[in-house]
Amino acid sequence: MNAIYAFGLLILLAFLGSRFIVRRRSLSPLHYIFLSGLVYIFLGMYLGKVGLNILSPQVLNELTPLLSLGLGWIGFLFGFQFEGKYLRRFSKKYIGLSFLKSSFVFFLVYVVIFFLVRKLYFVQSPFLLYGIVLAFGLLATVNSPTLLSAASFALSSKGDYYYLARFLTSVSGFWGILGLALLFSFWHFPFFDSRIILKGSVLFLISTIVPIIFGYLFYLSTKKRTSEQDILVYLLGFIFFVSGAAFYFNLSPLYVSMVMGITYSNLTKIHERLYPLLLSVEKPLYIVFLILIGAIWEFKFDINIAILILAFLCSRALGYVLPMRTFRFLLGFPFPLPHLFGFSFLSFGGIGIAFAVSLKLAYAMELTEIFLSVAMISIIVSDLLSPWFLKVSLLRLDSKEHE
């Protein structure tokens, strides 16, 4: 019965909270913490075992399917934006910049964190060491466009910098989630004994092909239906099944749902009707997801974690800032890419949170607890500072562009 009461409380909080996650015409960290929903992580911590214990470990174990559904929903929404017509509007140089930017950040963070983890922690298995460091590098590549949307009111006329930043933050997470799927496939503990490459390749192919099939089945099942309620019920059912199956087999619900979203987005022709429907459901599910994440997060903080957080945030910021002019030269960009432009990509948003918790849900170990604490604290700190960094980067650049 406790799980039923907890579920009812979550629904109530989601209903009330969704009325307060609204766009505020301000870029202050205080306002952005409500806009991004980060405040609900703290609420979840208070409702968990470190606070009121309403969301106790036993209750959370029964509510795990909601976490799976939350990951699937975020992944589907993220993948749904990858419509071929949308992507073809942008120059191939934009996609090239996205890949180069993500690759440079990944390798820089990987090198720094690999050195520190090996010095600060004794990791007996090299698989664990390489896997957890890869997770840090992949997480660093994830960006969110939420802050850019909130800042759009401050731009009198949106220019090249804004549209480039919006595109990059929207699609760059693709590389990180793709890498997460590869990590889940090849870092699959039960298969460590032999033929890892073969088994990992098979798992990755399964996690890619199956959601493509289900994306096509979802398209067929809704092709002749006009009722928005029917479409929503079918969508939730498909996402719940696909993400739940991925969760059960220790694959990435975030990735498989993203693939299903990409598949469906490129088959359907009713995007204009679906976007409002998806957004109407997004806020309540997102709030429930964040509260549950706060409840399962076993907060850890010591000197080693503080060092990792500082190194992770600094190396990530440098990775976005340092190579911008080099990338412009390599890609032949038609307008300058000054170093400060890299400060536009520091916000992780919900996709970063979903990425961070995915690893912990799949592999409950001491090392993944450390990863989750470093990731969550880094995400919170970075998103609190992001409004200020955006003011000195994108907003300043766009104002100069129109002088």
pLDDT of the residue at 207: 93
- The answer to pTM > 0.95 is no
**Residue 279, burial from CB neighbour count under 10 angstroms (0-12, 13-18, 19+):** exposed
User: Among 173, 38, 48, 35, which residue's Cα sits nearest to residue 105?
Assistant: 173
Q: Give the type of residue at 174.
A: F
Q: For 365-382, how does the pLDDT look when each residue is reduced to its tens digit (9 = 90+)?
A: 888 889 999 999 999 999
> Which residues, including other chains, have CB under 8 Å from residue 67's CB and lie 6 or more apart?
289, 292, 293, 296, 357, 361
Please give the angle made by the CA atoms of 233, 235 and 240, to the nearest 5 degrees.
95
**Exposure letters 282-312 (e unless 16+ CB within 10 A, then b):** bbbbbbbbbbbbbbbbeeeeeebeeebbebb
pLDDT of the residue at 6: 65
Under-50 pLDDT residues of the chain: 1, 22-23, 402-403
Cβ pair 254, 74 in contact under 8 A = yes
Q: For 128-174, how does the pLDDT look when each residue is reduced to its tens digit (9 = 90+)?
A: 888 899 999 999 999 988 877 777 766 666 778 888 888 888 888 89
The CA radius of gyration of the chain, in Å to the nearest whole number, is 21
Cβ pair 351, 144 in contact under 8 A = yes
Count of CB atoms situated within 10 Å of the CB of 338: 15
Q: What CA–CA distance (Å, rounded) separates 348 from 152?
A: 18
pLDDT above 90 coverage of the chain, percent: 25
Diameter of the chain measured on Cα atoms: 63
Q: What CA–CA distance (Å, rounded) separates 18 from 284?
A: 6
Count of CB atoms situated within 10 Å of the CB of 16: 11
Angstrom CA distances, 84 to 227, 230, 248, 351, 403, stand at 25, 26, 31, 21, 34
- Sequence ranges of the domains in the chain: 77-277+303-401
Q: Give the type of residue at 294.
A: G
